[in-house]
């Protein structure tokens, strides 16, 4: 994670106009660290404290609104499609940014920009290249190489260093992803069960595995795999999520998901 001084420096460069960039890619495979940094940066940009070294202060009206999720100047791109972001989502996001800021800045956030299809990324190019005054875009990414070169060229890059805690999170995510990949790889159930026993210890871990399975399906759809098949897989994943939300034991829900996907 970047030091507090470095974060303050980034905030100062943006708010003072020293940085000419208006779009930033925040790259880290540690999702929690990346999302936390984006939230901290957004709050710091909106902070009203005159002392830049104190931003975000966490006390002013703007900081409290950002923390409460009620700031009119923080806009996150919403996903309306079952299989990923749609062009309509990009259009709605761009239209809101075109309305301009109510306060210091209008900040557009896409937490997982590297999951966007090429079509959706292309829809955002004009917004990235010619945003309105006082509009800042923050694009989160696990791997910026999945973004189009035309997107990367319009953004400044911020790469987050990983702490031991972040490395542990990344290792856990990798283990969960390996288990999720077994849902589709023609593996025997006992192999999947063993992987789940090692990596899925809580209900939250099981939901992460389902999320990851959905991400894998979307990636394969973008790569050209059968769209109808991927949509069916996504529907089964959502059914497993619903089973757990209705109280089904996570082991039973994941077993059912495996058997249905491999029927």
User: Residue 115: which residues within 8 A CB-CB, separation 6 or more?
Assistant: 84, 85, 146, 215, 218, 219
Residue with tokens 């984006």: 38
Whole-angstrom CA distances from 258 to 19, 184, 189, 229 are: 50, 8, 7, 15
Q: Average pLDDT in the 215-223 region?
A: 83
Q: Average pLDDT in the 239-247 region?
A: 92
What CATH number matches the domain at 4-159, 3.40.720.10, 3.40.50.10140, 3.40.50.300, 3.40.50.1370?
Answer: 3.40.50.300
User: Residue 179: which residues within 8 A CB-CB, separation 6 or more?
Assistant: 192, 195, 196, 198, 199, 200, 209
Decide which of 163 and 84 is more confident.
84
- Give tens-digit pLDDT for 25-80: 999 888 888 898 899 899 999 999 988 878 889 999 999 999 999 999 999 999 88
Cα 179 off chain centre by? 21
pLDDT at 184 over 90: no
- Give tens-digit pLDDT for 86-143: 899 999 999 999 998 888 899 999 988 988 989 999 999 999 988 888 999 999 998 8
- Give tens-digit pLDDT for 6-23: 667 777 777 776 566 789
User: Residue 191: which residues within 8 A CB-CB, separation 6 or more?
Assistant: 182
Q: What is the pLDDT of residue 123?
A: 93
Q: Which of 82, 158, 148 is nearest to 113 (CA)?
A: 148
Q: What is the pLDDT of residue 243?
A: 92
- Sort residue 138 into left (φ over 0), alpha (ψ -120 to 50) or beta: beta
What predicted TM-score, i.e. pTM, was given to this entire model? 0.65
């Amino acid at each position: 994670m970047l030091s507090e001084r470095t974060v303050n420096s980034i905030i100062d460069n943006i708010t003072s106009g020293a940085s000419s960039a208006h779009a930033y890619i925040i790259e880290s495979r540690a999702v929690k660290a990346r999302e936390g940094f984006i939230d901290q940066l957004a709050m710091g940009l909106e902070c009203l404290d005159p002392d830049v070294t104190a931003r975000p202060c966490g006390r002013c009206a703007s900081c409290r609104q950002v923390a409460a999720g009620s700031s009119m100047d923080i806009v996150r791109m919403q996903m309306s499609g079952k299989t990923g972001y749609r062009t309509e989502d990009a259009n709605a996001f761009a239209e809101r940014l075109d309305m301009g800021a109510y306060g210091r800045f209008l900040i557009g956030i896409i937490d997982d920009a590297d999951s966007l299809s090429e079509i959706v990324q292309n829809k955002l190019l004009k917004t990235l290249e010619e945003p309105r005054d006082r509009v800042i875009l923050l694009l989160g990414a696990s791997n910026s190489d999945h973004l189009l070169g035309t997107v990367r060229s319009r953004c400044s890059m911020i790469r987050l260093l990983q702490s031991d805690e972040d490395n542990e999170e990344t290792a856990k995510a990798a283990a969960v992803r390996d288990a999720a990949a077994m849902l589709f790889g023609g593996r025997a159930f006992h192999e999947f069960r063993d992987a789940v026993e090692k990596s899925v210890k809580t209900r939250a871990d099981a939901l992460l595995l389902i999320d990851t399975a959905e991400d894998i399906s979307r990636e394969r759809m973008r790569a050209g795999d059968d769209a109808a098949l991927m949509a069916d897989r996504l529907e089964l994943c959502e059914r497993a999520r619903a089973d757990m939300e209705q109280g089904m034991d996570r082991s039973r829900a994941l077993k059912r998901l495996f058997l249905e996907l491999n029927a």
